[in-house]
Structure 1
């Protein structure tokens, strides 16, 4: 008996989004056509209030990670978060309508809009979470590999099963094309019965046996999912797997730097210009405050300068508000850690709200950095990392950034292993760089600063 079709995470998120939008659209219809006095209702009001409502809801949902399926599965958490986001959304829409259109309301429909919308969103998400406790949610995987991946099978199956996230995949069978010489009929029947997805991680596809090729083709024709390990990792973790010894060279070197993308260039220029003005103003305002506090709580130089490796491997000087003791590196170069004893009490406050990073605007204005890009690293660590992985210098084909994909997706790097892990995200960003991805980074950076996440 065939297994029921299992929805992947993208499909589940889409269903969740559609349900949310139906509720939000219905609530906006209640507000516009019933709560607002009809003499104030116009086409302009309808369009602007509806568009504003949708955009506010989607913006809040993205910033607060409203479509994280692991969070959706936690009943108490998702109900409270749903009510909070929906309540904030209706409040903002209400203020927008009053402030820009100066309308008056009918009380009962308005109260229905303000009170029922959060309750409806919370109930819908509670229903959604319970629905996928009944419907199968995890895909059973057949992992096919070769001798080049034999030493890293454990790491790669762990990645498929999920390191620190629920991938909704579970490796049930593994198959080596070097140690298993043929695919017998019983193995095929076992795989066909139990497996929903085949993940292939081999260097040379021409080495696949005819039996194995037939099995894969038959699986595709029977609705099974067949993907490469690189594709799985990139779509699931939004990073490139440096531990994979098969497709890495081919995938990583396809960095889309062969042609100029004019819209991306214009967007990057505009972002750098606008944020330079904004952050530059903040820099001028907070500098006297930081200088004054330094006199009492952090005696020593106001700024901390250091050479970092930038575009094409050229070194430049970076500026930060000093957050550590003056002789922090008297025993040699050392990466900062989460509970670094060298950080002063006032420095902890600076780091908590990312105030120490603000002087990097000087490097942006000088043209050595941009706002979005890989984090610039010191040459001594770059040289060490180049000995460990041949890909590290690839991150230097673009300017380093104050914020970036690795910064918002991974914790603060405390050692070389963390730096290699962050390299996976840097290479993903370089390969998939786009206006959409840059906007995601900006939103996630805002969330990081507002909620003081990371070091």
Structure 2
């Protein structure tokens, strides 16, 4: 609903800016000219909105976590100008009448992007759009929730104590969510009548820390990963959708067939560069974990020197850093997609030895193999690539640092969220946004 309201405000602002620009250019208020321009600029607005969506300007989670950078705004503006100019050139090629759009396009988009920057920067400073949380109980997930809300903008967190009290007045007016520890009823069964009277009977939205964390941050909490019953309800209760599986396989096959001719040209160039500069065999295979723990053979371009492929000190080849930077080393995996080993979207397939190793140290880690792995996925889109844990397998448990597995936990938390919420539209969103993610360095991702 909030996205729809924001989209409506953007729509009104865009055509207000267009009206002002047309009036200033003609030095008069001409309703007929403005109307004709509106018909043409309607396409520009929807095109611009799509680009803004790609760059997460409608993603409240992203807007809460970081400020809008000038670089991102400039790239989005440039993309809109180029795409819109191409559209106008296409219209003029067919002899369609154009009034003044080519002359005012840059001015409208410049003013509109200035509005976007100002609104997105100031949006969460307004109290009425903040999410007000009232927390009860103690849990690791609540601690995570407090920490994330402190880092993010747009949240106000109030502490309610261990359990709600019958003689305490709570701030009902601006209360959006009452969050309870998942273990509260087990530890304090007498709290239920008070919760019913104080919150449920008043129509206040109540939920557990696991569910709220998942809905707010679109990943699961570290504590919930170890709760088998919660995983069972979230994953096991989901019915397998035959239509979704069919559409997903058709999309995988069609996309791979369409991309192969273009990727083949880039592949030949990369193959030659690796051969000439790195003096390595360009193509190599790796054993990865696929659907239901099955071992698959993954094809990649070489970016690591062959002698150090599975050593504790991996050495990147001279050209490897460039292929990795734009994920070009993964082009040969289109062959795996055609074979059906992997999908375009899914949890990243990890080395078989690493998968077995992490299963011993992360609760329920094997769950990530209940769906087919993918070239890209929800974790890759939202989290930087963690270290290669296969290098840990020779260490004793005493040698591990306290936070040694934080990266694996975070990646897994996004994978579990995807498994629970996967759909054709979500897959499509991930594929489209992956094109943007290719140009974002891991150091700029949380």
Q: Same fold (TM over 0.5)?
A: yes
Give CA deviations for 1:109-153 in whole Å, capped at 9, x if unaligned: 7644541353145236525644653536555543223xxxx5x44
Query: How many correspondences in the alignment?
Result: 417
Q: Is 1:169 matched up with 2:191? A: no
CA contact (8 A) 2:220 2:416 kept: yes
Unaligned runs of 5+ in 1: 1-9, 335-339
Q: Distance in 1 between matches of 2:50 and 2:87?
A: 15
Q: Distance in 2 between matches of 1:268 and 1:325?
A: 35
Q: Structure 1 444/257 Cα, relative in aligned 2: closer, same or farther at 3 Å?
A: farther
TM-score of the aligned structures, taking structure 1 as reference length: 0.77
Q: Residue in 1 aligned with 2:165?
A: 183
Give CA deviations for 1:219-262 in whole Å, capped at 9, x if unaligned: 34556442221221111221122313796622454326754424
Aligned residue runs from structure 1 range 292-307, under 5 A: 292-307=272-287
CA contact (8 A) 1:142 1:174 kept: yes
Q: Structure 1 246/410 Cα, relative in aligned 2: closer, same or farther at 3 Å?
A: closer
Q: Residue in 2 aligned with 1:135?
A: 127
Q: Residue in 2 aligned with 1:361?
A: 334
* 1:67 paired residue among 58, 71, 75: 58
Q: Residue in 2 aligned with 1:123?
A: 115
CA contact (8 A) 1:308 1:316 kept: yes
Q: Distance in 2 between matches of 1:246 and 1:184?
A: 33
CA contact (8 A) 1:143 1:199 kept: yes
Q: Residue in 2 aligned with 1:89?
A: 80
Q: Structure 1 97/14 Cα, relative in aligned 2: closer, same or farther at 3 Å?
A: same
* 2:146 paired residue among 160, 173, 176: 160
Q: Structure 1 343/253 Cα, relative in aligned 2: closer, same or farther at 3 Å?
A: farther
* 1:410 paired residue among 372, 375, 383: 383
Give CA deviations for 1:24-53 in whole Å, capped at 9, x if unaligned: 3556889996269x7xx9xxx95xx56643
SS of match in other structure, 1:411: coil
Q: Is 1:213 matched up with 2:198? A: no
Q: Distance in 1 between matches of 2:282 and 2:322?
A: 15
TM-score of the aligned structures, taking structure 2 as reference length: 0.79
Unaligned runs of 5+ in 2: 23-30, 390-404
Q: Residue in 2 aligned with 1:5?
A: none
Q: Distance in 2 between matches of 1:164 and 1:452?
A: 25
* 2:7 paired residue among 11, 17, 23: 17
* 1:428 paired residue among 410, 417, 441: 417
Q: Distance in 2 between matches of 1:435 and 1:61?
A: 21
Q: Distance in 2 between matches of 1:277 and 1:330?
A: 32
